[in-house]
Amino acid sequence: MKSLVLFLCFVSPFIASAQKFESLFNGKDLFGWKINGNEKWYVENGEIVGESGPDKGFGYLTTDKKYKNFILDAHFFLEKEGNSGVFFRSNVEGVIIDGWQVEVQGPNTGGIYESYARGWLCQPAEKVKSMLKPNAWNYLRIYVNGDTVTDWLNGRQMCEVHDKQIEAGDGIIALQIHHDGGVKVRWKDIRIRELK
């Protein structure tokens, strides 16, 4: 019975995802999003591209709308091996972001990080660090509900966190360009299902 309960807990976000998903990206332009900072965000071939610019600074592409509890699906392609990620329940002032992210960066992809505060809340275990596919599209799923954040990379669970500070958080979703340059990431099929 215990193994059945654990199995249902793992697959339930995937079963629920068949209902009421909405696209966060129309495939044509950045409608519904806001560019923060001077780094490059544009649409090419039906994909959002985030790319370091001459400033080699931080940059964020943020949703106009705030999201509290949700399942988020996205596909990403690391065209250059820079540092990126997906922030949730976050707030941005200029290029200073307050909140949490699911990391997109080499073997740390799928880790959960809190900016300008506690740092790593969860890093992927060694046995799952090989889930990132180089030079290919990768599938990321993020489940945020109450105090719980769980994420999967290409169908494999990477991290799960239960945290009271996250539970109290509220804010936007953001795609990141990290400073120091060298970032070029493509995003597509970004969909969300809000949870009650």
Tokens of 86: 């997906």
Rg (CA), the chain: 16
Taking the CB of residue 34, how many other CB atoms lie within 10 A of it? 14
Is 70 exceeded by the pLDDT of residue 162? yes
Instruction: Return mean pLDDT, the chain.
Output: 92
pLDDT digits (tens, 9 = 90+) for 11-52: 555 554 456 899 999 999 999 999 999 999 999 999 999 999
CB 78 within 8 A of CB 187: no
What percent of the chain is modeled with pLDDT above 90? 87
The number of CA neighbours under 13 Å toward the Cβ of 145 is 14
pLDDT digits (tens, 9 = 90+) for 144-157: 999 999 999 999 99
Place of tokens 């539970």: 167
Instruction: Grade residue 4 by pLDDT with cuts at 50, 70 and 90.
Output: very low
Q: What is the pLDDT of residue 186?
A: 98
**From residue 170, how far is each of 5, 53, 96, 145, 173 by CA, in Å?**
30, 29, 16, 11, 10
pLDDT digits (tens, 9 = 90+) for 57-68: 999 999 999 999
Q: What is the pLDDT of residue 81?
A: 80
- Give the Cα separation of 17 and 135 in Å (integer): 27
pLDDT digits (tens, 9 = 90+) for 109-129: 999 999 999 999 999 999 999
Tokens of 159: 């991290």
